Amino acid sequence: MSAIIIDGKITAAKIQEKVRKRTAALKEKGIVPCLAVILAGEDPASVSYVTSKKKALEEIGMEDREIRLPGSVSEAELLGLIASLNADPKVHGILVQHPFPRHMDEERIFSAVNPDKDVDGFSLASAGNLALGRPGFIPGTPFGIVHLLRDYQIPIAGRHVVILGRSNIVGKPMANLLVRRELNATVTVCHTGTPDPAVFTRQADIIIAAAGKPGLVTADMVKPGAAVIDVGMNRVPDASKKKGYRLCGDTDYEGLLEIAGWITKVPGGVGPMTVAMLTQNVADAAEDIHTLP
Ligand code: GUN
């Protein structure tokens, strides 16, 4: 048996096509969906994320308002900028690229974004809505993973999903999304305090690896036929590459091909979905609706 390769670019393109049509309809009514993207500092991975978001917005016909700030910007200045974008009726969504400069309080920055414009879904209000099963913006990576599973007809309801990693931007919202009634999965979250994650992953119908550890999930940790979703985007030093590194996920991709039922590509799996769901959230913000999971 060989795993079905999940290609996020194909699923993302289908979503972006729908968003493109919604954008065209909004523009006919004189509304140009606009996302403000704030990037503070020069983190290379962040610069690359912001570039791919910009490209997607342009392709769809949305307005992209990119604001680059030096890493030395003060928290007060950043909060002031967010407040002015909150008040700007032409801006429908606001995204502050993570990670922030170290001197900033993450929660304060994310929660300064008006929940009606919080297309990243990282404010306290959005996180609370997600956890309580109320309408609100759902973070792009977890929402994108659900779309990928559905597009590949991988059953979720009643299945056991094991998530590796408890970050606020992937692991936790992923767990909160999957336990909602609309999805009805049984969820286990493993993290750095879990002595032996393999005990759990071997029971999983779906493994979602979001720990930021290259090659963490190996073949002996996977039940035959399970779906493996790799969220890892690790830069591993590699002198043979022009850039000096290669991108590596949180799984031993080659080693899993013979055991997993499905496996995502890295890159080209979850990454394009995050961007596609972000554009869907911007369309939702411009239409003042929330797409349910
Ligand atoms: N850094 C990594 N992924 C994300 C994301 O989805 N949104 C933001 N704002 N920062 C990120």
For 207, the 3-state DSSP assignment is strand
Gap from CA of 285 to ligand 1 centroid (Å): 18
Q: What are phi and psi of 153, to 5 degrees?
A: 55, 40
Q: Which atom of ligand 1 is nearest to the CA of 141?
A: 6
* Amino acid, single-letter form, for residue 226: A
- Position 13 scores a pLDDT of 98
Q: How far, in Å, CA of 210 to CA of 212, rounded? A: 6
For the question of residue 280 being annotated catalytic, the response is no
Gap from CA of 220 to ligand 1 centroid (Å): 31
Q: Are the C-beta atoms of 56 and 84 separated by less than 8 Å?
A: no
- Taking CA atoms, 129 is separated from 125, 134, 136, in Å, by 6, 5, 6
Residue 2 pairs in a beta bridge with none
Q: Which atom of ligand 1 is nearest to the CA of 120?
A: 7
For the question of residue 241 being annotated catalytic, the response is no
For 214, the 3-state DSSP assignment is coil
Name the residue of 43, 78, 95, 169 whose CB sits within 8 Å of the most ligand 1 atoms, as the mutation to test its pocket. 169
For the question of residue 97 being annotated catalytic, the response is yes
For 279, the 3-state DSSP assignment is helix
CA 251 to chain centre: 18
Query: How many Cβ atoms sit within 10 Å of the Cβ of residue 47?
Result: 13
Given 117, 118, 120, 230, which residue is catalytic? Answer: 120
What are the tokens at 159? 């299945």
Q: Which atom of ligand 1 is nearest to the CA of 46?
A: 1
Helix axes 171-178, 124-132, angle to 10 degrees: 30
Element (H, E) at 14: helix 8-28
pTM of the model: 0.97
Element (H, E) at 56: helix 44-60
Residues of the chain where predicted confidence (pLDDT) is lower than 70: 1
Q: How far, in Å, CA of 22 to CA of 293, rounded? A: 18
Q: What is the DSSP string of 171-183?
A: HHHHHHHHTSTTT
User: How many Cα neighbours within 13 Å face the side chain of 61?
Assistant: 16
Gap from CA of 68 to ligand 1 centroid (Å): 15
Q: Is 61 left (phi over 0), alpha (psi -120 to 50) or beta?
A: left
